[in-house]
Structure 1
Amino acid sequence: METILGIDLPTWWFLVVGGVFSGYAILDGFDLGAGALHLFFKKEESRRIALNAIGPVWDGNEVWLVIGGGALFAGFPVVYATVFSAFYELFMVFLVMLILRAISIEFRSKEPMKWWRQLWDISYSFASIAIALALGLVLGNVIQGIAVDQSYAYRGTLLDFFNPYSLLVAVTTLALFMMHGAIYLVMKTENRLYAKLTILVKNTTIFFVLMFALTSVVTLLFVPHMVARYKEIPYMFGVPLLAIVATANITRQISARRYRWAFVSSTLVTASLMLLVAVGLYPNIMLSTLDARFHLTVFNGASSPKTLKTLLLIAAIGVPLVATYTAFVFWTFRGKVRLDDSSY
């Protein structure tokens, strides 16, 4: 099998897909977290400031989701077909909530009536929470495995996805995004809203730490295949160690009110948790609970070597361009939020 820098092509593409989805989790994660916290702000001005903190970036952050879906389809078409068929209902809910979040942001300030703005505030917060939970639910089932048969077709039901472990991962995902979003908002605000957010940052961090610890213990006890890879390659224990150290550093930076560094740490936590899952699953992408022979791996689910090689060249050009554009947008709209006539 052809390799690049000693790594085979399917594994390279596995890393690309994982990296793009990690980028989405980091970028849209704080948007969703800000939305989940939206109803904690009681004043009209506070809600407008919170919306305008994510206003210039939220739609651009969703580009990473589109790239991730395209990368999965191009590099692992069999996996794409199985995943989107199995999670069809959840993905439909996810897409509807994405649309609801978008129209809530855009429609909220179109009319001055209090009931109108309250309606869209509620729908915005509800959609953000639902999206985070749906993403966590899918992730939990991917970690645990689903009922896939020899033809890679899902043989379970929708209710099977709502198992205790996946629900736990879903709540942990929401907790992570809420913490990430609170840290982002506190960097973008000042005065009384800033003071309120300093409290929310501490509370959401405590919530995440508790959920992270609980999910880690449950995973160690009841999902042993996620630990097997780390036992085979001991130096991989550096990944969970990075997640723990970064989490600890968040609390340290928050105590010192160095919120930029706290945001860097929460970004590292999100990336390391995604890497944690990737290492635990590899070389599998989708586990079958019916028979280990039906697992979808980076090898039996990948496109042809020629396709993967061409795609890697395209990704090597395209992904840095999107990353550069994302960085440019964040740099352009850096600093505290100021409301004006063009604000939401």
Structure 2
Amino acid sequence: MHLHDVWFVLIAVLWIGYFFLEGFDFGVGVLTKALARDERERRVLINTIGPVWDGNEVWLLTAGGATFAAFPAWYGTLFSGFYLPLLLILVCLIVRGVAFEYRAKRSDERWKRRWEHAIFWTSLLLAFLWGVAFANIVHGTKIDKAGDYVGNVFDLLHPYALLGGLVTLTLFTFHGAVFVSLKTLGEIRDRARAQARWYGVAAAVLAVAFLVWTQVDGGDGWSLGAMVVAALALVAALGLNEAGREGWAFLLSGVTIVAAVAMLFLSLYPDVMPSSLDPAWSLTVSNASSSAYTLRVMTWVAGVMTPLVLCYQGWTYWVFRRRIGVRNIPV
């Protein structure tokens, strides 16, 4: 296996980690309107992710940086062709982060409510837009012989991409609802488990259609295996949620996301951005990668730093592992 193949796998792992962790962040953000009934319950939901949401975004920064360094042609085509969607994602990430920090800076109800609206809408948009973006990458885009994107933003809004956005939105909301039931106490915990049932069913219906479409479009035996794992994990997560086994339900909703994203990368390989104009013009792991020396240096750096980041993030989750409820929120 060449180093460019190794770095394709590592970038896939980074995106899998990002969607596993930030997925429930987005889901909790959506639930601040769909689940919480008053200001104190919204504070409970926000506090469940308060210590970890910014650490979860490290995976995104690392994935973007690794793509830039390991596959500069992929990075250049992706960020030029998807400029407006990625700009909207960036704006949402900024506004969402500011909303978490600024919401409690003033006691005025209108001030808090505006930032709560920002948390909800940016979380919803991000959950949807990431699905649209990755569906386009896997399905193929208008890339010419020079490796440049020659389409427009409306070419990215086809049925497959929109279905991908709905899948990530419902799946992340289900993941978030299970996380809330795992991290909270009292009535809000019970309502989160009840809502998770419906979000999970919706995610299952949409995900089956999307993953089968993906498999038919360009899958192989490996991607089929990942699809089966995703389907079984989602069904098991729904059953465990009904049984009140929140920890196992959360683990398996995460496995669903891991397997689904893995399937997308397995369907993509050896391409990194397929061309819908001519398969010969597609960007691949070999023609889009950096030099062997660059990849060797990156491998050594990643080997040293990655365990440190994982240990720190794991420690953070351990420290903030306790459940919280309305009774923990001062009036």
Task: Quickly name the TM-score band, shorter chain normalised.
Answer: over 0.9
Residues 127 and 146 (structure 1 numbering): CA distance in 2 closer, same or farther, change over 3 Å? Answer: same
1:37 deviates by: 1.4
CA deviations 1:232-276 (Å, max 9, x no partner) are: xx4653222211221121012112111101111011111111110
The alignment partner of 1:302 has SS state of coil
Q: Could you tell me how far apart the structure 2 residues matched to 1:53 and 1:235 are?
A: 36
CA deviations 1:122-173 (Å, max 9, x no partner) are: 1110000111111111111101111011111110011111111100000101
Matched, 1:125 2:112: no
Report the AA paired with residue 113 of structure 1: D
The alignment partner of 1:37 has SS state of helix
Matched, 1:70 2:65: yes
1:321 deviates by: 1.5
Show the counterpart of 1:186. 181
Match 2:310 to one of 293, 318, 323: 323
Unaligned runs of 5+ residues in structure 2 are none
Q: Please list every run of at least 4 consecutive aligned residues from structure 1 whose deviation after the TM superposition is greater than 4 angstroms.
A: 338-343
1:340 deviates by: 9.5
Show the counterpart of 1:108. 103
Show the counterpart of 1:36. 30
Show the counterpart of 2:20. 26
Q: Could you tell me how far apart the structure 1 residues matched to 2:27 and 2:107 are?
A: 26
Q: Could you tell me how far apart the structure 2 residues matched to 1:122 and 1:237 are?
A: 39
Show the counterpart of 2:241. 254
Q: Could you tell me how far apart the structure 2 residues matched to 1:45 and 1:273 are?
A: 35
Match 1:200 to one of 165, 185, 195: 195
1:28 deviates by: 0.8
* 104-113 or 279-288, which deviates more: 104-113
Q: Could you tell me how far apart the structure 1 residues matched to 2:289 and 2:280 are?
A: 16
Q: Could you tell me how far apart the structure 2 residues matched to 1:255 and 1:124 are?
A: 28
Matched, 1:86 2:73: no
Matched, 1:10 2:41: no
Matched, 1:335 2:322: yes
Q: How does 1:253-292 map to 2 (within 5 A)?
A: 253-292=240-279
Q: Could you tell me how far apart the structure 2 residues matched to 1:192 and 1:339 are?
A: 9
Report the AA paired with residue 48 of structure 1: R
Unaligned runs of 5+ residues in structure 1 are 1-6
Q: Is the 8 A contact 2:193 2:242 kept in 1?
A: no
Show the counterpart of 1:49. 44
Residues 331 and 46 (structure 1 numbering): CA distance in 2 closer, same or farther, change over 3 Å? Answer: same
The alignment partner of 1:285 has SS state of strand
What is the number of equivalent residue pairs in this alignment?
330
CA deviations 1:220-239 (Å, max 9, x no partner) are: 55xx2x22xx1xxx465322
Q: TM-score by structure 2 length?
A: 0.95
Report the AA paired with residue 83 of structure 2: Y
CA deviations 1:40-70 (Å, max 9, x no partner) are: 2121111000000000000111011110001
Report the AA paired with residue 157 of structure 1: N
RMSD, aligned α-carbons? 1.8
Identity %: 33
Q: Could you tell me how far apart the structure 2 residues matched to 1:220 and 1:304 are?
A: 32
Q: Could you tell me how far apart the structure 1 residues matched to 2:327 and 2:66 are?
A: 39
Report the AA paired with residue 32 of structure 1: F
Residues 186 and 342 (structure 1 numbering): CA distance in 2 closer, same or farther, change over 3 Å? Answer: closer
Q: Is the 8 A contact 2:270 2:284 kept in 1?
A: yes
Residues 137 and 78 (structure 1 numbering): CA distance in 2 closer, same or farther, change over 3 Å? Answer: same
Matched, 1:298 2:292: no
